[in-house]
Every structure is written in C-alpha cells, then in structure tokens.
Structure 1
Amino acid sequence: MSRKTLRVRGVTRTFPGSGRAGPTLALQPTDLTVQPGEFVAILGPSGCGKSTLLRIVAGLDRPTAGTLTLDEAPIAAPGPDRGMVFQSYTLFPWLTVAENIAYGLRERGLPPAEQRAIVDRFLARTGLTGFAEHWPRQLSGGMQQRTALARALANDPEILLLDEPFGALDHQTRELMQELLLEIWEADRKTVLFVTHDIDEAIFLANRVIVMSARPGRIKAEVEVPLSYPREWTVKTTPEFGALKARLMAEIREEVRKAIG
C-alpha cells in the first residue's frame, strides 16, 4: 500500500507563445492533496489542463509557478516513486513483453533472479503469462496496455499515474481493463491519479472525482464517490451511480459549453 501524500500547491502552467501567437495559460493556480491509497479521477473537457497537471506530477513537465511534494520531498523530475501509463502504446518495440516489464527493474540494478520473480508475478496478475516472449507488435491494444500497466506496477511506485490509458480501446476491452485495474487497486491500495473523459469510468473506479473547468483549467468541484468496494460492473445500474453520473454530467456539460463558446 502507498504511504506517501501528494500535495500540489498553487501550481500553474503557461506555455510560451510562438510567432504571432501569445502565451497560453493552460492551468490556473491549482491546489490538490491526494492521500495514501486514494483512487482519484480527474474529469474535464478537452484542453482543460488535466493531462498537463498529470505530466507535472510525473515530473515530465515543470510548473510555471507553485510546488509539488510527495511526503514533503519536492517533485522536480521523473522518479521510480511515480509510475506512468499513457493513452498511446508506449512499449519498447525491440523488447519482448517480459523485457518491457523488467525495464525499470534493470535500470535500478536489481539482480536478474529478483527481476524474473517480479516479472513473473506481474505477468500472472495481468493475464500475460503465455505472452512473455511476444513482441509488442504481436499483441492486441488491450494486451499492450496490460503490459504497460504491469511495467509501471513492477517498479512498486508510490503513485500510479494514468493518462486516459483505456481511451483507444474498444468498449468491451475497456471495461475489462477497468475491472483489472480495480482488482489490482483493491488488492494493493496504491495511490492512483487517473485522467479520463469518461464519466462512467471515473465513477466506477474512483473514490473521489476532481472536475476541472474549461481552459485555463482550475479545479471546479471535488465529488466523493460513496460506493463501497469491491465494485462489480452491476454497480453501474444502481440509482446511486445514476445520480452521481447526472451530477458530474451537468458539471462537465457546463464547461464544454464554455469551451466551445
């Protein structure tokens, strides 16, 4: 289980202009605290800065102003305490499934026997045991994302950061991946920060949903999800789920209207 608290304080991001285009304010001053073991989803219209915020937490981008800490340690660069899974398939095509999962372990210098044991464990947890020696090009989209998830988890990060990881998958595969992620989270209680456009996905997975405004993004609302775990897909048919969906949809529709003018 994760043990460290993420604190985002007054974080902004302005992208410099080019040519005749002026600078773009992507993220207004943002404060966010994510407690150990929380599963927090971030919702918002396209271009609202949610992925920018996630990249800043990952250390892949730098804020224009503000501070980020993980248990009081400043975040200034990528690190093994944060595991990232992107929407696009980001596996190394020249490495097998097992080698992709072991990548971070090799970089940390773990002994080969320990690497193999960890890789075997996550191959089993993600249903990829029979595909250890396959190349990424031989996998379906869902299997590639399972590999990416296993690679991130194998490093045992404090926080798992997911940027619309299932957005490119078909509906059935997406739902199966949601159930797999939730099963892993319920077992390990890693801290998760999950960016998505899908309201159903946010409610099904998270115990708290952050709603962001249209650009320049700011946190407009924080909505607790009082649905108990473990969660089955049938929770989506309940009145409680429907009420949460209606509330979040109203928040998002208001921001989408602003975004399209």
Structure 2
Amino acid sequence: MSAKTLRIAGVTRTFPGQRASAPTLALQPTDLSVAPGEFVAILGPSGCGKSTLLRIVAGLDQPTGGQVLLDGAPVTAPGPDRGMVFQSYTLFPWLTVEGNIRYGLRERGLPEAQQAEVAARFIARTGLRGFENHWPRQLSGGMQQRTALARALANDPEILLLDEPFGALDHQTRELMQELLLEIWEADRKTVLFVTHDIDEAIFLANRVLVMSARPGRVKAEVPVPLAYPRDWTMKTTPEFGALKARLMGEIREEVRKAIAAAG
C-alpha cells in the first residue's frame, strides 16, 4: 500500500436539536492537509469538535458539509486504511488479548497461521508477551490500551486515529504509553492524527500541533514542533519545550475562557 495524503476540505458538522432546541453547530468549515508519515496533534477546549472531526475522518460520522479525501477519494465509511483507538477501553470482553488483536485479521479472511504470526509480532512490540490468553477484565488500563493499540496496528492501517487514548491512565502509565507510541511511530512512520487535552503530550509526540477554537470549532492556530526525533522524557525539561508549551497554553487559555463564557 502506498501512503495516502489526507485532506479535510471545508468539513462542517451540525447536530440536530433535541425537541424544541436549536441545532448545534459543532464544527465550522475546517480545512486541513496531512502528509504521509506526519504526526499531528489536535488540542482544544472540551466540546470544540476535536473528537467529532476524528470520527468523520474515521468514517464513523458524516459531515454536514465538505468532505474528507484520501488521495482525492472521498471517505464515506470506515475502512482498513484507517485504524482508530478511543479513550474508553473498547476491547471485546469475550475475546482474549490475542483474540482481540486477531479480530480484524480474521474479518479480512487472513489464514490462521498468518493471523497468529501478525498477532505475535504486535504482542511483542507492545509488551504484551505472557498476557496473550488474558481477558480484558484481567488487565490494567494501560494493558488494555496496549492491546487496543496492537489491534489497530495489526491491520496495518495507513492512518492511525487516536482519540485521547491515554486520557484515563495514571500519569506514569500515560508517559510510558507515550514513549511506546513514539517508538512504534519512529519505526513505522504511519500518518497519525492524535486528539488530546494535554499540552505536554501534544508537544512530546507531534511534529505539528493544531489548536482548535471553542465551539463551533475551527483550526485557529498551527504550531510546528521543531524538536528532533528520537525523543525521550528529558526533552520535557528543555527551554525549547517550555517555550512551545507557553505559546500553546496562551492559545488554549483564550479558547477555554470563550467556552466558559458561552456556557454561562
């Protein structure tokens, strides 16, 4: 599979009102291009449409206007070229770790031996050896997200869509998962769209950070992250990291104030 360019062209999303309430405009016209192999993080206040945008790219939701294009072809439904990991633990509880990782491979009709080989490879890459036969209920949050990441990667998607995947984890586990994701990305250079509320996480992972406005969301700022790869946790203590964090904090605080004012 050759890598594809992702283009979000004038995408809007309006949700119908409940009963007598007015419709809600979640996304203003949004334009964005992501080159093959880029790691792009999306920051913004709660309710600004970050997750809605990601779901539209995944084909799990449809835009009210505009379109998502992969190498010029419109996205109208989920597909194997896009893999998604959610914040909530979305493993199938009736399947083991290995069963969850093999699920997409089985659905695609891969032979059993090939399923086993691919699953074993990603079990090893995500540090899950020894847990192949565990059920999701027997795993910690971090282990469940490792399994969800392995399941997404096993299908060899061209684009990885991550919606606050580490948001429910404790601080130390979250940092280890960030390092694991970076290690995999540096090896594979898949295109990544990563939604987060965490400024440090966005800077540490991405080579470009997009800041979205308060609802109705739009991309209001684009901040390149000119920090060299490979990266490790010590980068978070550098003046360069601190300067990027200060800039992004200023952008986000302005939008959070607007969101609070609109809610009040």
Q: What range describes the TM-score normalised by the shorter chain of this pair?
A: over 0.9
Alpha-carbon distance in 1 for matches of 2:226, 2:2: 21
In the TM superposition, what are the counterparts of 1:168-247 in structure 2 within 5 Å? Answer: 168-247=168-247
Q: Is the 8 A contact 1:2 1:37 kept in 2?
A: no
| Aligned twin of 2:11 | 11
Deviations 1:73-107 (A, max 9, x none): 21000000000000000000000000000000000
In the TM superposition, what are the counterparts of 1:56-205 in structure 2 within 5 Å? Answer: 56-205=56-205
Identity of aligned residues (%): 85
Alpha-carbon distance in 1 for matches of 2:160, 2:2: 10
Shift of 1:19: 1.2
- Match of 1:130, SS? coil
- Match of 2:79, SS? coil
Q: Is the 8 A contact 1:85 1:161 kept in 2?
A: yes
AA at the equivalent of 2:213: S
Alpha-carbon distance in 2 for matches of 1:166, 1:2: 29
Runs of 4+ in structure 1 displaced over 2 angstroms? none
Alpha-carbon distance in 1 for matches of 2:18, 2:236: 46
Aligned alpha-carbon RMSD (Å) = 0.8
| Aligned length in residues | 261
Alpha-carbon distance in 1 for matches of 2:75, 2:122: 27
Query: TM-score, normalised to structure 2's length?
Result: 0.98
Unmatched runs of 5 consecutive residues or more in structure 2: none
Alpha-carbon distance in 2 for matches of 1:44, 1:129: 36
Query: TM-score, normalised to structure 1's length?
Result: 0.99
Shift of 1:2: 6.6
- Match of 1:134, SS? coil
AA at the equivalent of 2:100: N
Alpha-carbon distance in 2 for matches of 1:82, 1:75: 10
Deviations 1:185-215 (A, max 9, x none): 0000000000000000000000000000000
Q: Is the 8 A contact 1:2 1:189 kept in 2?
A: no
Q: Is the 8 A contact 1:2 1:190 kept in 2?
A: no
Shift of 1:20: 1.8
